[in-house]
Chain A
Amino acid sequence: MGKRIGIEVSIAAAEAVKQANVDVISAYPITPQTHIVEHLSELVANGEMDAEFFCVESEHSALSVCVGSQATGARSFTCTSAQGLALLSEVTFIASGLRLPIVMILANRTLSAPLSIWNDHSDAMMVRDCGWIQFFTENGQEVYDHVFISYRVAEDRQVLFPAIINMDGFILSHVIEPLEMIEQEKIDQFLPPYEPLHRLHPDKPVTMGAFALPAIFAETKKAQEVALLSSLPKILEVWKAFGDMTGRYYHPIETYRAEDAETLLVTMGSFGETASVAVDQMRAEGRSVGLIKIRLWRPFPFNDFKKAVQGAKNLVVIDRAVSPGGPKGPVASEVRSALFGESVHPTVYDFVAGISGRDVGPSDFVKMVDKAEIEIEEGNREGYELYGVRE
Chain B
Amino acid sequence: MVPSLPNDQERGRGNLSYSKREVFGMTKPEYEWTWKELPVGNVILEPGNASQYRTGDWKSLKPVLKRELCIHCGLCYIFCPDMAYGPDSESCFIADLFYCKGCGICAKECPTGAITMVMEEEGK
Contacts and interface: CB of A to CB of B under 8 A. Distances in A.
> A and B, one complex?
yes
Interface of A: 97-100, 160, 197-198, 205-208, 210, 212-213, 215-216, 218-220, 222-223, 226-227
A208 B42 CA distance: 7
A98 B40 CA distance: 8
Given A197-B40, A216-B38, A218-B35, 7 more contacts: A198-B39, A198-B45, A206-B43, A208-B41, A210-B42, A215-B30, A216-B31
Interface in B17-49: 23-25, 30-31, 33-36, 38-45, 47-48
A198 B43 contact: yes
Nearest to B48: A205
A218 B35 CA distance: 8
A6 B34 CA distance: 53
Contact of B35 (A97, A100, A197, A219): A219
Q: Which interface residue of A197, A205, A219, A222 has the most chain B CB atoms within 10 A?
A: A219
Interface of B: 23-25, 30-31, 33-36, 38-45, 47-48
A213 B47 contact: no
Nearest to A200: B43
Contacts of A226: 35
A219 B40 contact: no
B30 A216 contact: yes
7 contacts: A198-B40, A208-B43, A210-B42, A213-B23, A219-B34, A219-B35, A223-B36
Contacts of A218: 35
A206 B47 contact: yes
Q: Which interface residue of B25, B34, B41 has the most chain A CB atoms within 10 A?
A: B41
Nearest to B39: A198
A220 B38 contact: yes
Contacts of B45: 198, 206
B27 to A, nearest CB: 14
Nearest to A95: B41
Contacts of A213: 23-24, 30
Contacts of B34: 219
B47 to A, nearest CB: 4
B31 A100 contact: no
Q: Would you list the 10 A-B pairs with minimal beta carbon distance, nearest first?
A: A99-B41, A207-B44, A205-B47, A219-B35, A222-B35, A216-B30, A223-B35, A215-B31, A198-B43, A98-B41
Contact of A160 (B25, B30, B41): B41
A220 B42 contact: yes
A225 to B, nearest CB: 9
A108 to B, nearest CB: 28
A216 B30 CA distance: 6
B76 to A, nearest CB: 27
B26 to A, nearest CB: 10
Nearest to B49: A207
Contacts of A198: 39-41, 43, 45
A250 to B, nearest CB: 26
A227 B38 CA distance: 12
Nearest to B44: A207
A223 B30 contact: no
B45 to A, nearest CB: 6
Contacts of B25: 210
A222 B33 CA distance: 12
Contact of A219 (B33, B41, B44, B48): B33
A100 B23 contact: no
B42 A206 contact: no
A289 B37 CA distance: 49
Nearest to A96: B41
Contacts of B24: 210, 212-213, 216
